[in-house]
């Protein structure tokens, strides 16, 4: 069921990209603006999306991939519902930011730059979040968590689990109310 939903999501994304491409001139100079537009709308660049761009601009897929991988602004996996960013700027690095990143990777079973198979979580490293006095820092769903410690990571995931259970209970209650009203 989830695989069917993901396939449908990918097909919808590709149709959207095909509709977007004619807004751009068929000129190699448009490669980066096209990739930026796709990322802005869909949050990542899939291999199929880059193939569409290559076909549209009449350049090789490897050239599109080469440009996309050169710039760190592009991501190649769909972001998770919960996005975790670990600062590895100088202050955070010195204060153990790399250990925090390793703990998130180990807990989720993914490497930085990846998303869990259920698309619930993604982890990435960032250069600096501008909170050096709070080092090491992680940003979880746009919430800055300073003085991050490995022991805090388990607590974060317990909060996510509790939130998910509350959402399920709320949905079940709404469904029961809808059935009772019919």
Binding residues: 87, 92, 128, 132
Q: Is the separation of the CB atoms in 124 and 85 below 8 Å? A: yes
Could you give phi then psi for residue 177, rounded to 5 degrees? Answer: -65, -40
Q: In what order do the strands lie in the sheet with 121-126?
A: 114-115, 121-126, 82-87, 138-140, 143-145
**First-last CA distance in the chain:** 27
> Which of 134, 51, 139, 65 minimizes the C-alpha distance to 96?
134
Residues placed in the known binding site for [2Fe-2S] cluster: 87, 92, 128, 132
The answer for residues whose C-beta is within 8 angstroms of residue 12's C-beta and 6 or more apart is none
Place of tokens 């960032």: 126
Report the alpha-carbon distance of residue 15 to residue 86 in Å, rounded. 34
């Amino acid at each position: 069921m989830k695989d069917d939903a993901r396939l449908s999501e990918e097909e919808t994304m590709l149709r959207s990209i095909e509709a977007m491409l004619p807004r751009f001139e068929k000129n190699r100079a448009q490669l980066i603006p096209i990739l930026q537009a796709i990322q802005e709308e869909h949050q990542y660049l899939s291999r199929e999306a880059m193939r569409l761009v290559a076909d549209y601009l009449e350049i090789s897929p490897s050239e599109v991939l080469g440009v996309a991988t050169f710039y760190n602004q592009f991501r190649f996996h769909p972001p998770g519902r919960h996005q975790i960013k670990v600062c590895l700027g100088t202050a955070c690095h010195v204060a153990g930011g790399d250990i925090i990143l390793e703990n998130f990777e180990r807990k989720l079973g993914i490497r930085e730059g990846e998303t869990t198979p259920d698309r619930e979580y993604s982890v990435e490293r960032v250069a600096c979040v501008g909170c050096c006095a709070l080092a090491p820092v992680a940003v979880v769903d746009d919430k800055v968590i300073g003085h991050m410690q490995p022991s805090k990571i388990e607590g974060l995931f317990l909060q996510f689990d509790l939130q998910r259970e509350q959402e399920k209970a709320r949905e079940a209650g709404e469904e029961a109310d809808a059935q009772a009203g019919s």
